[in-house]
Amino acid sequence: MSVQIRIPTVLRPYTDGNAVVTAEGATVAEVVSSLDRLHPGVGSVLLESDGSLKRFVNVFVDGENVRYLQSLDTPVPDGAEIVILPAVAGGR
Amino acid sequence: MELHRDIRAAVVAHARFCYPNEACGLLAVDGAGALRMAYCCTNVEQSPVSYTVDATEHLRAMVHAERNGWALGGVFHSHTHSPAHPSRTDVARALEPEWLYVLVSLEDPDDPDVRAYWIREGTITEEPLVLGGTP
């Protein structure tokens, strides 16, 4: 299944500067895996070494944060829009 | 850069509302780079020393900005007891080189200081703000 993924600025060096790319997959994990095959290096930015989603990475499927769904096992409908947003954070 | 007095009032009000914790929010800019909207967001850390913008509010602000022909172009947050200058943590976590980083200091609660910066590859450059809008 083909999905469109919005890529944040910090990841665009991996996608030749493209803000929107296409990948395949029926779950978020499969889409991330597809994304990493098409754009090597993206996976290591998004995932911890144990394969879980990094704390400062947010992934939305059709507007829903996957952290509140099934995380990387969240199903991705055909034609879904995925948005990757790095956490906006700072402090003293 | 012009900072509309209503946007300044909004970010200062949010900083005061969230005190003693740090406040945070996002800023929309138009195609010319002018500040158009401040989105007051939840600091999910609820902390006096750090902030993380609620991710869902971040997405909704982005969608709202884009539906108005704008884009997210900055973030603001408060320093409750220190100057309006980016901290080392702010610099380390500044991932958007094209975003304006606005700081609200409540160090003097009767006279909040609002300043803006570009943070690019670890280098901080202040962007002078000029108050705009009708008093």
d(CA B12, CA B47): 17
String of b and e for B46-84 (b: at least 16 CB within 10 Å)? eebebbbbbbbbbbebbeebeeeebebbbbbbbbbeeeb
Chain-chain contact of A91 with B22 (C-beta, under 8 angstroms): yes
Residue A92 lies in a domain: no
In tens, the pLDDT along A18-49 reads: 999 999 999 999 999 999 999 999 999 999 99
B63 vs A contacts (CB less than 8 Å): 63
Say whether pLDDT at B135 is over 90.
no
Residue of A nearest to B91 (CA): A90
**What are the Cα distances from residue B128, in Å, to A6, A88, B86?**
32, 23, 15
Whether A8 and chain B come into contact, CB under 8 Å, resolves to yes
Q: CATH no. for residue B118?
A: 3.40.140.10
Whether A85 and chain B come into contact, CB under 8 Å, resolves to yes
Q: Is B88 exposed, middle or buried (0-12, 13-18, 19+ CB in 10 A)?
A: exposed
Q: Number of structural domains, chain B?
A: 1
Q: CATH no. for residue A62?
A: 3.10.20.30
Question: B34 lies in which domain range?
Answer: 2-132
In tens, the pLDDT along B22-48 reads: 999 999 999 999 999 999 999 999 999
d(CA A86, CA B97): 13
Q: Is A73 exposed, middle or buried (0-12, 13-18, 19+ CB in 10 A)?
A: exposed
pTM of the predicted protein model = 0.93
Q: Number of structural domains, chain A?
A: 1
B90 vs A contacts (CB less than 8 Å): 90-91
Question: A63 lies in which domain range?
Answer: 2-86
Residue A91 lies in a domain: no
Is the ipTM higher than 0.95? The answer is no
